[in-house]
Amino acid sequence: MEEAATTRGDQSMDTESVIIQPKLDPQTTCPDEPDRREPKINLNQGEIFKALEIIERDSLAIAVSFTSLFALLRFVLSEATNEEESDLDLAWKMLDVAIAATRIFHYLRSSGF
């Protein structure tokens, strides 16, 4: 089943996990409450740009995945009105749509969205 989706040229959804461990300054005082202390996160500009680049890349991958999913769904629904198409063929196409949706769901969960 998964081979059918792969033969169509689906892109793999490999992702890069980046864990940024910021330096915390426990001595920083919260300006609203003088007695309360909160850690201050110190990120350098390079870390911020790298995180933004990853977010942009992942967002683009998600947009492409949804575009492909909706295009395939639109195609399957348009074929449903064609009486020459067998029910089994339509079922396989709908299964491809379900597999694509599942891949997107797993990708989103693993990305933290």
pLDDT confidence band for 2 (50 / 70 / 90): very low
Q: Which two tokens stand for residue 65?
A: 């995945």
The answer to whether 91 and 1 have CB atoms below 8 angstroms apart is no
pLDDT digits (tens, 9 = 90+) for 16-68: 555 555 555 545 545 555 566 666 677 788 888 888 898 888 888 888 888 88
Give the model confidence (pLDDT) of 72-109 as tens digits.
Answer: 878 877 766 666 667 777 777 778 888 887 887 777 77
Per-residue model confidence (pLDDT) at position 76: 74
List C-alpha distances in Å: 72 to 2, 66, 84, 91.
15, 10, 19, 13
